[in-house]
Structure 1
Amino acid sequence: MTPAESVVLLDEAGRAIGTADKAEVHHGDTPLHLAFSCYLLDADGAVLVTRRALHKRTFPGVWTNSCCGHPAPDEPLDDAVRRRVAHELGAEVVDLRLVLPRFRYRAEQDGVVENEMCPVYVGSVDGDVAPHPDEVAEVRWEPWAAFRGDVLSGTREVSVWCREQVAQLPADLAAAPAASSAGQ
């Protein structure tokens, strides 16, 4: 039997105030909790875009960034990113850096709400990815400039959080500077 996965609940200032079972936290009145998003680049600067598995409870079948997840209680965010990338994509992240430390969003689909403080990371992978079918339905490597342009123009449908993140990420994602993690 797999142990329950917990998420870290937050107050409006981003301070941890408790934990909740991940399987029970996402509903019509989801409390604010900690998450992360990651954009992975290959050696040519293309971004890995993923389509969420069709049976996922939240936002099934939606195209989005490379990897999303929740850190476990007391787990450093960068460790959580590496853990989830390994699990979801069968890949090892190199050159991982925090680029949007204070990103926050709220989104709803089919009565399920996401309400997250979601720091955004950029990293690289060297070699192939092996998507886990329970997490990822499809993957594509796309030139960042083209992907970004299509998302910003509205011609590319992606998750709410991806659209909002892309609007805040730089035109040259590979050169995005690391941000301070202060306050996280």
Structure 2
Amino acid sequence: MVTVGDVAGAVTGNGEVLAVVDEDDQPVDQAARSRVHEEALRHRAVHVLLSDGEGQMWLQKRSQGKRTYPGRWTSSASGHVPVED
């Protein structure tokens, strides 16, 4: 089965550029995704949580190949907001 994370990783790769933002979500810089994570820079991300009518949450399991939190359960869909958005 292919997950949303697998598709997003294949599309963006390691060259993804993210907006670095201040505490008011105003862009102050741009940086490679790897640098943003290595230096714990504030950036934009989106998480979607899906549930059914009975309150059950739909989650996805992260790939074992992920650098951070491999094999862990995470939100239904998630991703970074590219600098262009």
TM-score of the superposition, structure 1-length normalised? 0.35
Distance in 2, matches of 1:30 and 1:40, equals 27
Asked if residue 19 in structure 1 is aligned to residue 30 in structure 2, the reply is yes
Paired residues in the alignment total 73
After superposition, the C-alpha distances for 1:156-175 in whole angstroms (9 at most, x for unaligned) are: xxxxxxxxxxxxxxxxxxxx
Distance in 1, matches of 2:15 and 2:27, equals 19
Distance in 2, matches of 1:3 and 1:51, equals 21
Aligned residue among 39, 49, 59 for 1:39: 49
SS in 2 for 1:26: helix
For the Cα contact (< 8 Å) 2:36–2:42, is it kept in 1?
Answer: no
Larger relative contact order, structure 1 or 2 (CA cutoff 8 Å, min sep 6):
2
Deviation at 1:24, TM superposition (A): 2.9
Write out the 4+ residue segments of structure 1 that deviate beyond 2 Å after TM superposition: 40-47
Structure 2 runs not aligned, ≥5 long: 1-12
1:47-86 correspondence runs (5 A): 47-75=57-85
Amino acid in structure 1 at the alignment position of 2:31 = A
Amino acid in structure 2 at the alignment position of 1:64 = T
Asked if residue 7 in structure 1 is aligned to residue 18 in structure 2, the reply is yes
| RMSD, matched Cα | 2.2
Distance in 2, matches of 1:63 and 1:54, equals 11
Distance in 1, matches of 2:16 and 2:53, equals 33
Percent identity among equivalent residues?
30
Structure 1 runs not aligned, ≥5 long: 76-184
SS in 2 for 1:33: coil
1:1-184 correspondence runs (5 A): 4-27=15-38, 29-42=39-52, 46-75=56-85
TM-score of the superposition, structure 2-length normalised? 0.69
